[in-house]
Amino acid sequence: MNIAVIRQKIRHLGFFIPFRIHLLLIAVALVLAFGWLRQNNAIPETSRTAIINVFISVTFWFALTILVVSLLSALVPWIFFLYSKKNNRSVLSIKTPDKENKTNQQQVQVDISKIVKPVFGYIRLRLLYDGNNVSPKFTPVDSQPKKDFFSMHIKGLYNWPLKNIKEYDINSGIIYFEDFFQFFSFSAALPANSNFFTHPQLTQTGAIIVQPKKTEDTNMRIEEMRKVEGEFLNYKNFENNDDVRRIVWKIYAKNKELVVRIPETNDRYASHIYFYASFYNAISNDVYAEFNEAFLDNFKTIVWNVYEQLCRQNELVQYIPDQETKTFYADDAIQKAKYIVSTSTWQKQNDLTGYFNKQYGSVLCISSLTDVKQLEAVLEKSERGLTVIFVPLSKSFTNVNVIDWLQWLFIKPEKKSSEKLHLAFNLSPLRRKILANEKIIKEMLNKSDCEVLIMDNGLFDKV
Amino acid sequence: MKISKKYSIKKIVARLALLVIPAMAIGAYLLWHLNAYYSVLESQWITESLFLATGLFAGCLFYSFRFRFITTFLPLLLLLFIVNKIVNNLYTGEFTAFYATTKFYIFAFLFVTGWLAGWAFARLRWFPAVLSALLMLLQIIVVSNTTDITAQKLILAFAPVLVFAFYIIYTAELVLNMNDDEPKFTWFLTKKIIAFAAIAGIILLLILSFYKKEFQAIEKQYGGGKSEQQVPNKESLTKENKDGSVSNKKEMGLSGGRSSTKRLVFIAKLDNYFPNSDMPNPLYYTYDYYTKFDTSTQTLEVDSLMPSNDLFQPDPSKIPVYFTKTDSSVLVKAKGFLKRKVVSTEVYKALLSPKEFLAPETAFFCQPIAVEKDYRQQFKSAYRAKMLVSELNSAYFVYNPAGNKELEAFQKQRFDELRKVSTWNNEDAAFMSYYTFIPKGDDFDSIRVLANEITKNALAPIDKIIAVRNYFLSRDETGQPLFKYTENPGVPGLPSASKLNYFLFENRKGYCAYYAGATLFLLRALGLPTRVATGFLTMDRSTKNKGWYWFYEDQAHAWTQVFFPGYGWIDFDTTIPSTEQQQAPAPDGTPPITVQTALFVTHGKVTEVDTSKKRVDMSVSQMIYHDKTFDLKKPVLLDMDVSLATISKDSGEVSLGELKKGNEITALSFSEQFKDIAMKDSNNYEEIFQKIPKPAPIDEIKIIDTTQEKQQVKKEIKKNTLPFSQILRFGIIILVLVILLIFSLPWIIFKWLSYKARSAAALSQKAYWSYMAATYYCNQLGRSRGDMSPALFARGKIDTEFKTNLFAFMQVYLKTKYAKESLTNSEQAIIQNFYTPFYKAVKEKVPFKERFSKFLNFYRTINFFSKPKI
């Protein structure tokens, strides 16, 4: 067992300590203070000693009573929870909330059943995800007002500041029962086995004009009901080969007439925008895992923003994934695409030539990791009307200049800020490779006939 | 440049509103308190509080952003340094420059302190805990030094700080751990604060009601208590003990008034007369010396470590009657040999506690004496004392010789004698620096200026003292007396003003302690070694019994003593005559003039008491015979006839029944029978014992009560120290036991399951318990079933690892559980013979070390019971 593992184990054990560190601190501070007081004022028969003694015992009993009340207020719900957990009545479920939140934050929805909140106290949680990772301790915010006071159900939201855009597996949760003073923290682990994904954040992008290239038949539902009996506009009588699902039962209910809708086909020329985003990685490898993650998040954010922008402008945008992801059950194509973009990773199997369909593709998103030769092959024969969106990954990190260094001197950067990564990236050999690749790609794109958008204006530089 | 916040706006606002603003208020309160004690702060508590508050607010706000501490704090210090330089250059006058710099230092210090506290509030999680402990400590120290002790005031001073200490701990954690996304943020906080107020309030009320008696006991014992109802003045130089007797106080506050009740404390005969005359010369009766000034409490204090401690303070109740205690070392320490003579006094105590000893200075001898029968109702005990007194001292009111020429001449002679002293150069430097010490600060500087102003025309030290006396007696431009005597000068209206300065420069009203205190500083400022003596003012009211003086409670007094090389400490009383002073309520009574002499006194322990025959046996260890003291080498048994004797304790007369075997007693006899026994060898005590009548007639027995005292001391020690340490010890033991229990719980549970598995009689029961015990054992050893099916777990995991037959057993067990068929004989045998071999097999495979460590894991146990069993 190496030190890291031991440290992690100790840290995990620490999650189960039944009291919080400040209780210990207060106890030590009070004992020291009063010990000193007693030692330095032990002259008997003086008012001073008598007063000090009474004050000390009043403080002692006051503190003790508060401790006991705190302890009981947390202990009772905890024991109740352990009991209901033993009988499998307590369930913890975690999911991405249904409603899109306005604040653009990464939210998870937590549901715990058969649980009683300590009086004036708190229920806190830690989520164990992706193996050994642990979330910070958090209090879920009540997402719906409590219907009755004695409800044994907790439903709340948590804005989880997760770093990467991907799908997370949550193995279990540790539930903490804390008293109103937050002195005690009784814990109980509960398996969760659920997953949720973080999605790219929306940023403002300018309008992107793209030519649809793919023609597709689209069946449109006829919304207008038949007005008069015998009218056959948009309807016809049911025949043997007709799809039974198309029978309009409403009409049948009225007059026992089996009628089907004649589908309205929408077959405009070049109606569809096929959206391609290549996650093919020809340059970086696993040694640069940390950079790759940052690149990936940056690329996903841009891809998603462009896609979303196009969807808002045009109804008929279709995202063509370059890799297989888990099936995501949603009616909405945009939600599906969101999931696919969010869970995509850099891949080395499906290269650009194999993936991109020149005939139909309207938009192609590529990154600095794209293979130059393949790009050349794609651009060679492509027609006008293809929009290539190039994401220079070397711009994934915020630039650090002299003012920033000065700032660093006075201001502590945030823990997971990209500044540290940026410094490492500046020194890594990968940077040279990527810059060289970007240069070639840019030259190539400039020469080509395609519409080219290079996303290095800093709009998306937030990782 | 965008500076990100360390906390959300909500948290910053909450922290400022709930922690910083209350901390500002507490800071202002503390500064207000400190201004009352330290003159250097110059009673600008509002401005000072503003600086502290600004620092606190700015610091907390600033460090709520991601600013680094070192690189921002250092520039701040640099800035203050530059401002300091500017301030220094701005003011040119020596005094103004000093004044401005001091002021700047105070403000800069307060601002930086506030800034640091603000930083700590924003960044250090442990800070509230430390702050709360510190606050409580500070408040306890400040409150415990109070002289104005009432239960209500103590509670009011302490309870808010106690609640506040817990409030900051509560609020700091509340703000820190709060979820920023809480939609009704303010309501959430309000709810939590109300909850805290309710809980803390209820607990505090309960505890205070529980402790109310203790607070009242303190009030009764040390505070105004009972006497407060009798007199309006809470402050007095005397205090009342629990048994109703009176003692001098150990503290001399400069606030409030003093006791003015007219109860008789003691009477005394002093055989001090003016030279070549039969005119009695009364002397002040000294109890204690106040030599040290505590600046924090603004009181003069008794200091047992004062240089050349010449205080003789025996406990007369501990000395057997007629035996003596002498300490001649005090005479050397008193350093007075010129114009000194030995005089004696007899003190008869009325209200004065039997433990107290009072005599004119410098006393060196104490001998308790018997009180004659007729006077025992009035006087509980008495002692004789001898002193080396200065011929220059007199208690006649020094300002008002009342036209008495003899007194005027005496006073002049006294001053002339002392005028010979002009320097203290030969005195010990430590002695001089101790008795001329004055605290630093503007308040004391102004006293110094005043002292020099008053004595500018005086050359000799004695003339300076006279000048100071005259200053107190002087009149202002309107012809009114500059200073007035009042029993109740009240607490200064401005809490920050130093009380002495207030007395000297503004109020100019006070009683003896004020005059003595002020004189002390004025004289010390002039470099004269001075101390304050407390005790009783001696007043000669009647000429009927010469040399006898009556002392009432309102005669408790404080005056100054100045040290003159060679002459020792000389009394100077600068208290001006009181216009409100009243005469004693009743004329002095008759003193117990006929003093008996005990011919035969023995001291020792009681060996036997016969109450019917009125005979007592004692083993004598010390004896006085015809004024000669014998220390017996071997205790001698004495048979005593006590039929006529009175038995007494310090508290008064008691019956013979109270006398117990082992009691330490002193027996006295005034009997004539002892008069005529002649001795050949004056040193042979054995001869005396042979000659004295048997049983010896005894007139008086005094019980020296040591046992009760010891018990009381023990009780007090028990009361004071035991509960806390005992509770602490008890708490630690319980904690250790609980920890042990938690760690041994998995093993205890296993033993119980194991016992059930072995002892269950019914087959289905046995199967169930065997299954439980076996799976529990496996689970505890790290082989948990997890998500496996029971069969897979048994066959695939356990049986393969330990070569056991758990699978076979499991099948039978499941059959007992779910199937309705009865078991076959072989199946029954499997259940009967499963558990013990299984346990042994597993135990053999797993080494003890591993078993031990895994059994310590309580979470494994919880995990076992919280999972579905099958």
**Euclidean distance between CA atoms B789 and B868, whole angstroms:** 11
Are B390 and B314 spatial neighbours (Cβ–Cβ below 8 Å)? Answer: no
- Low-confidence winner among B41-45, B104-108, B133-137, B336-340 (lowest mean pLDDT): B41-45
Residue B368 pLDDT greater than 80, yes or no: yes
- Tell me whether residues B140 and A60 touch, CB distance under 8 A: no
Other beta carbons less than 10 A from residue A50's beta carbon: 20
| Structural contact between residues B408 and B398, judged by C-beta atoms closer than 8 angstroms | no
pLDDT of residue A379: 84
Cβ contacts (< 8 Å) between A57 and chain B: which residues?
Answer: 211, 214, 723-724
B385, B424 contact by CB (below 8 A)? no
pLDDT of residue B227: 34
Lowest mean pLDDT among A140-144, A443-447, B273-277: A140-144
At a CB cut-off of 8 Å and minimum separation 6, what does B257 contact?
A: B232, B233, B234, B235, B486, B487, B488, B489, B490, B511
Relative to beta strand B381-390, strand A387-391 is: unpaired
Q: Does A66 touch chain B (CB under 8 A)?
A: yes
Give dist(CA B812, CA B417) in Å, integer: 119
Residue B231's pLDDT is 32
The confidence score (pLDDT) of residue B40 equals: 61
Torsion of CA B178, B181, B183, B184, to 10 degrees: 20
Q: Which residues of chain B make contact with A53, given a CB cutoff of 8 A?
A: 720
pLDDT tens-digit profile of B390-412? 888 887 655 555 567 777 788 88
Once rounded to an integer, what is the mean pLDDT over residues B464-478? 85
Q: What is the pTM of this model?
A: 0.51
Residue B397 pLDDT: 52
pLDDT at B827 over 70: yes
pLDDT value for B232: 33
Q: What per-residue confidence (pLDDT) applies to A244?
A: 85
Q: Which residues of A touch B3 (CB under 8 A)?
A: 407, 411
Mean pLDDT value across residues B213-231: 60
Alpha carbon A261 to chain centroid distance? Answer: 42
Q: Which pLDDT does position B228 carry in this prediction?
A: 34
- For residue B852, is pLDDT > 70? yes
List the single range of B126-140, B309-323, B565-579, B677-691 with lowest mean pLDDT.
B677-691
Of the listed ranges A81-95, B108-122, B459-473, B703-717, the one predicted with least confidence: B703-717
For A66, the closest of B4, B166, B717 (CB atoms) is B166
Nearest to A259 by CA among A251, A271, A268, A269: A251
**Which one, of B498, B281, B243, B253, lies nearest residue B392 by Cα?**
B281
β-partners of residue A178 are A122, A185
Could you write out the DSSP letters of every residue in B360-404?
A: SSSEEEEEEEPPPGGGTTT-SEEEEEEEEEETT---S-TT--TT-
- B1, B133, B181 ranked by CB distance to A30: nearest: B133
Which of these, A175, A181, A180, lies nearest to A82 by C-alpha position?
Answer: A175
Mean pLDDT of A234-240: 84
**Does residue A411 sit at the B interface (CB-CB below 8 Å)?**
yes
A193 part of contact set with chain B, CB < 8 Å: no
What local confidence, expressed as pLDDT, does residue B869 receive?
44
Torsion angle (degrees, nearest 10) of CA B314, B319, B322, B323: -90
Q: What angle do CA B587, B588, B590 make, to 5 degrees?
A: 130
What is the model's pLDDT at position A102?
A: 59
Residue B109: the pLDDT is: 92
Interface touch B66/A412, C-beta < 8 Å = yes
Best A21, A58, A79 residue to mutate vs chain B (most B CBs within 10 Å)? A58
Please say if the pLDDT value at position B819 is more than 70: yes
B162 contacts on A by Cβ (under 8 Å): 58-59, 62
pLDDT-wise least confident of B171-185, B525-539, B585-599: B585-599
A58 with B207: Cβ contact below 8 A: yes
- pLDDT of B496 > 90? The answer is no
Question: Could you give the percent of chain A with pLDDT greater than 70?
Answer: 84
Both tokens of A73, joined, read 């207020």
**Could you tell me which of B349, B325, B318, B320 has the C-alpha nearest to residue B667?**
B320
Give the mean pLDDT of B643-669. Answer: 80
DSSP secondary structure string, A403-419?
A: HHHHHHHHBPPPTT-HH
Measure the CA–CA gap between B464 and B679, rounded to whole angstroms: 61
Is the pLDDT at A148 greater than 60? The verdict is: no
**Residue pLDDT, tens place only, A251-277:** 888 888 888 887 766 666 667 888 999
What's the complex ipTM? 0.74
- pLDDT for residue A155 is more than 50: yes
Dist. CA A178–CA A184, nearest whole Å: 6
Question: Which percentage of chain B shows pLDDT scores above 70?
Answer: 84
Query: Comparing C-alpha atoms, which of B447, B440, B442 is closest to residue B43?
Result: B442
pLDDT digits (tens, 9 = 90+) for A321-369: 888 888 777 778 888 888 899 899 998 888 888 888 887 888 899 998 8
Measured between CB atoms, which of A33, A82, A140 is closest to B866?
Answer: A82
**Interchain pair B181, A47: CB under 8 A:** no
* Residue of higher predicted confidence among B387 and B257: B387
- Check the CA dihedral A222-A225-A227-A228 and report its sign: positive
CB contact under 8 A, A407 and B1: yes
CB atoms within 10 A of CB B566: 14
CA atoms within 13 A on the CB side of A452: 19
Residue B380 CA to residue B359 CA, distance in Å, equals 18
Instruction: Give percent of chain A with pLDDT exceeding 90.
Output: 7
Provide Rg for chain A, Cα atoms: 31
Q: Which residue has the higher pLDDT, B97 or A279?
A: A279
Helix axes B512-525, B442-454, angle to 10 degrees: 80
pLDDT in tens, B155-183: 888 888 888 889 998 998 888 888 877 77
Q: What is the pLDDT of residue A209?
A: 76
Closest-CA distance of chain A to residue B369, Å = 28
Q: What is the pLDDT of residues A377-410, one digit of tens each?
A: 888 877 677 888 888 888 777 666 667 677 777 7
Q: Are strands A153-159 and A141-142 parallel, antiparallel or unpaired?
A: antiparallel
Gap between the Cα atoms of B345 and B350, Å rounded: 16
How many other C-beta atoms can be found within 10 angstroms of the C-beta atom of residue B666?
24
* Distance between CA atoms of residues A461 and A457, nearest Å: 8
* Contact status, residue A352 vs residue A278, Cβ threshold 8 Å: yes
Name the band, by pLDDT with cuts 50, 70 and 90, for residue B111: very high
How far, CA to CA in Å, does A463 sit from each of A425, B86, B430?
Answer: 14, 49, 74
Bigger pLDDT: A209 vs A299: A299
pLDDT for A176: 93
Write B243-250 long-range contacts (CB < 8 A, 24+): B243/B353, B243/B651, B244/B351, B245/B351, B245/B352, B245/B353, B245/B354, B246/B351, B246/B352, B246/B353, B246/B553, B247/B352, B247/B353, B247/B355, B247/B356, B248/B287, B248/B288, B248/B356, B248/B534, B248/B535, B248/B556, B250/A46, B250/B288, B250/B302
**Is A407 in the B-facing interface, judged by CB distances under 8 Å?**
yes
pLDDT digits (tens, 9 = 90+) for B748-805: 999 999 998 888 888 888 888 998 899 899 988 888 887 778 888 888 888 888 888 8
